[in-house]
A = this chain, B = another copy of it.
Amino acid sequence: MKDIDIIPSTLKEAVEKISELPGYGEKSAKRFAVNLLDMPRGEAIQIIKTLFDMLEKIHPCSECGLYTEEEICSICSSEERDRSVICVVEETFDAFAIEKTGKFKGVYHVIGGRLSPLEGITAEDLNIEKLVERVDKNGVKEIILATNPTVEGEATASYIHNLLKDRDVIISRIAYGLPFGAVLENADDFTLSKALEHKTII
């Protein structure tokens, strides 16, 4: 008598598959699968169909790598964007966050991750070669490195900086400083010293 083997095989498979997603363990994968089963079946199927639809239609923009439903994304194909300024981000949603500020009028380049020796992610795994190509071909004047302010994001920015520094292009890095609403007492030393170093006269 097998007591444990009462979990239906398709549920087991679903849990295994979801566990493959970054950030998911067995518990959260179970929760996801059971939440789907607990919903009215029609609604659950609608969720799955929407995901399927997304996977069928969305791919990286062939120019900049942003996720888009077109061959070329709406930013790369816009007449109003300045193609001589490229903002380099790790992922599509980083670009969406910058777009929300409304402060950037250039174009993007999504490298699709960050250098991470621990996870075995090297420069070859990232969309960096294409960035160099764009710089060489399109009369680019400025590159803003907007990878995340983390150890890995910093290493990635510095790798790209080295790669491009001999070209006739201004390379900048987004500013470190205190985030709005932060408490000085709780800020880490690095952030606080950068906030002092880059103080602005008022």
* A residues lining the B interface (CB < 8 Å): 1, 3-11, 13-14, 17-18, 20-23, 30-39, 41, 43-48, 50-55, 57-58, 66-69, 73-75, 78, 80, 91-93, 95-96, 99-100, 102, 112
Q: Which residues from chain B contact A10 at a C-beta distance below 8 Å?
A: 50, 53-54, 57-58, 69
Residues of B within 8 A of A4 (CB): 96, 99-100, 102
Q: What B residues does A20 contact at CB under 8 A?
A: 43, 47
Expressed in whole angstroms, the minimum distance between the Cβ of A46 and any Cβ of chain B is 7
10 example contacts (A-B, Cβ-Cβ < 8 A) are as follows A1-B80, A6-B73, A7-B96, A8-B57, A20-B43, A22-B35, A36-B55, A37-B54, A37-B67, A52-B52
Q: How far, in whole Å, are A23 and B18 apart by their CA atoms in the complex?
A: 16
Kindly report how many copies of this chain are found in the complex they form together: 2
Q: In the complex, how many angstroms separate the beta carbon of A21 from the nearest chain B beta carbon?
A: 5
Flag if A36 contacts B11 (CB, 8 Å). Answer: no
Interface centre among A8, A37, A92, A96 (most CB of B within 10 A): A8
The 5 closest A-B pairs by CB, nearest first: A10-B54, A14-B54, A17-B47, A17-B50, A8-B69
